[in-house]
Amino acid sequence: MGLTIKAHGKINLTLDVLSRRPDGYHDVEMIMQSIALHDTLRIEDQEEEIMLTAAGQPVSIDEDNLIIKAARLLQQQTGTQRGAKIHLQKEIPVAAGLAGGSTDAAATLRGLNELWQLGLSRKQLMELGVRLGADVPFCLLGGTAIARGIGEELTPLPAAPNFGVVLVKPAFGVSTAAVYRGLNVASLRQHPRTNSMVDALRFGQLSAVADELGNVLESVTLGLYPELQEIKETLTEVGCQGVLMSGSGPTIFGLTEDAAAAIKLARQLALPNCKVVATAMV
Ligand code: ATP
């Protein structure tokens, strides 16, 4: 028995950091948005053992892969004797700010819950998921949502318009921890306006959404990698309306009216050493 599951990536339409907590995590407030770009997991039921293979974007298939961690966590928590053979078709760039690892972990939890007939609720899966990564609960929910706490306190929002998204991922990856280390929360002068973005999304006009985009981590990552500024300028020049870094980066995204416009604009981009993907908000 087996099943095939899509694991969607995300972008941050807003990302604000409110405070640094004593445990080293940060309290955040962000508007998360699923995108059509997805990995695909093929999961087959088997006895006990967890096996992982992968194709596409290069990613480790060892014990550090979040798919294996998610499967082991589920085994430990439920005491099931079942195992799984999992094949990952990796399309989401790795260490990119697109929640590639978190969404694979979320898809594994969903898939194995069904395949092993564990009967866990989405809430229970989310509680397990946050142990694997702060973005895993959102990836279990999908769509558009406000995330608070370390990212696990979610308020779903009405479906957003299907704006096109042009993603530009430079050849290097970024460590989320390193970016947070470079952030001085007390010195932040400007914060994204979460409520205004919620209104703009409801109103559905691209220019209004573009005006409200904001990410307080952007200046930290741009300070580490100044070449990201050029990518931002190029995306604006070709006609993207709102241009922002996603998560802790380094992926820069630009918004367009729809997926067709994103495909057209992506074709015009000549950015050496960058992966360019045209996708859409879903
Ligand atoms: P986020 O936006 O949630 O901060 P990200 O997009 O910046 O995540 P990921 O692609 O999740 O970053 O990769 C972060 C780290 O997780 C990488 O160092 C990678 O090796 C590791 N990792 C573990 N499992 C996976 C997986 N299934 N897919 C991608 N990366 C994984």
- CATH number for 80: 3.30.230.10
Average pLDDT over the chain reads 97
Mean pLDDT to the nearest integer, 22-31: 94
Classify 56 as helix, strand or coil.
strand
Last residue of a domain, one of 138, 156, 174: 156
Residue 24 shares a structural domain with residue 137: yes
What CATH code is carried by the domain that includes residue 272? 3.30.70.890
Q: Is the pLDDT of residue 159 over 90?
A: yes
Question: Between the CA of residue 7 and those of 102, 191, 209, what are the distances in Å?
Answer: 9, 30, 25
* Residue with CA at minimum distance from ligand 1 atom 11: 101
Domain that residue 12 falls in: 2-156
Q: Is there a catalytic annotation at residue 135? A: yes
Q: Is there a catalytic annotation at residue 10? A: yes
Q: Is the pLDDT of residue 241 over 90?
A: yes
* Residue with CA at minimum distance from ligand 1 atom 25: 101
Residue 181 shares a structural domain with residue 225: yes
Give the residue from 87, 33, 93 showing the smallest Cα distance to 57.
93
Q: How crowded is residue 219: how many other Cβ atoms within 10 Å of its Cβ?
A: 14
Residue 106 shares a structural domain with residue 184: no
99 annotated among ligand-binding-site residues: yes
With cut-offs at 50, 70 and 90, classify the pLDDT of residue 98: very high
Residue 224 shares a structural domain with residue 141: no
Amino acid identity at 267: R
Q: Is the pLDDT of residue 24 over 90?
A: no
Amino acid identity at 155: T
Give the residue from 22, 274, 279 showing the smallest Cα distance to 166.
279
The interface predicted TM-score (ipTM) is 0.94
pLDDT at position 270: 87
Q: Is the pLDDT of residue 266 over 90?
A: yes
Q: Which atom of ligand 1 is nearest to the CA of 92?
A: 10
Q: Residue 103 and residue 92: Cα distance in Å, rounded? A: 10
Last residue of a domain, one of 156, 172, 196: 156
Give the residue from 165, 220, 215, 169 showing the smallest Cα distance to 194.
215
129 annotated among ligand-binding-site residues: no
Residue ranges of alpha helices (H) inside 16-79 are 66-78
Q: How crowded is residue 250: how many other Cβ atoms within 10 Å of its Cβ?
A: 27
pLDDT tens profile 130-158: 999 999 999 999 999 999 999 999 999 99
95 annotated among ligand-binding-site residues: yes
Beta strands in 21-78 (DSSP E): 26-47, 50-56
pLDDT at position 119: 98
Residue 149 shares a structural domain with residue 171: no
Residue 149 shares a structural domain with residue 209: no
Residue 170 shares a structural domain with residue 74: no
100 annotated among ligand-binding-site residues: yes
Residue identified by tokens 């339409």 is 13
Query: Which two structure tokens, joined as six digits, stand for 118?
Result: 């564990």
Residue 123 shares a structural domain with residue 187: no
96 annotated among ligand-binding-site residues: yes
Pairing of strands 2-20, 26-47: antiparallel
Residue ranges of alpha helices (H) inside the chain are 66-78, 100-115, 122-129, 136-141, 176-181, 194-203, 206-212, 218-224, 227-238, 259-267
Using alpha carbons only, how large is the chain's radius of gyration in Å?
18
What distance in angstroms lies between residue 180's CA and the mean position of ligand 1's atoms? 16
Could you report how far apart the first and last alpha carbons of the chain are, in Å?
29
Residue 13 shares a structural domain with residue 145: yes
Residue 198 shares a structural domain with residue 228: yes
Q: Residue 139 and residue 146: Cα distance in Å, rounded? A: 12
Mean pLDDT to the nearest integer, 40-53: 97
Q: Which atom of ligand 1 is nearest to the CA of 247?
A: 2
* Residue with CA at minimum distance from ligand 1 atom 31: 101
Residue to mutate (ligand 1; options 50, 94, 138; most atoms within 8 A of CB): 94
Q: Residue 5 and residue 78: Cα distance in Å, rounded? A: 21
Residue 32 shares a structural domain with residue 147: yes
Pocket of ligand 1 (CB under 6 A): 59-60, 64-67, 94-102, 104, 133, 135, 176, 247-248
Side-chain-side CA neighbours of residue 6 (13 Å): 10
pLDDT at position 1: 81
pLDDT tens profile 8-17: 999 999 999 9
Mean pLDDT to the nearest integer, 193-200: 98
pLDDT tens profile 105-116: 999 999 999 999
What distance in angstroms lies between residue 207's CA and the mean position of ligand 1's atoms? 31
Last residue of a domain, one of 89, 121, 156: 156
With cut-offs at 50, 70 and 90, classify the pLDDT of residue 95: very high
Percent of the chain whose predicted confidence (pLDDT) is above 90: 97
Residue 120 shares a structural domain with residue 9: yes
If you ran DSSP here, which 8-state letter would residue 96 be given?
S
pLDDT at position 89: 98
Q: Residue 228 and residue 95: Cα distance in Å, rounded? A: 15
pLDDT at position 163: 98
What distance in angstroms lies between residue 65's CA and the mean position of ligand 1's atoms? 8
Looking at the 3D structure of the chain, how many domains does it have?
2
Q: Residue 262 and residue 191: Cα distance in Å, rounded? A: 28
| Active-site position among 16, 104, 135, 169 | 135
| Active-site position among 10, 69, 90, 169 | 10
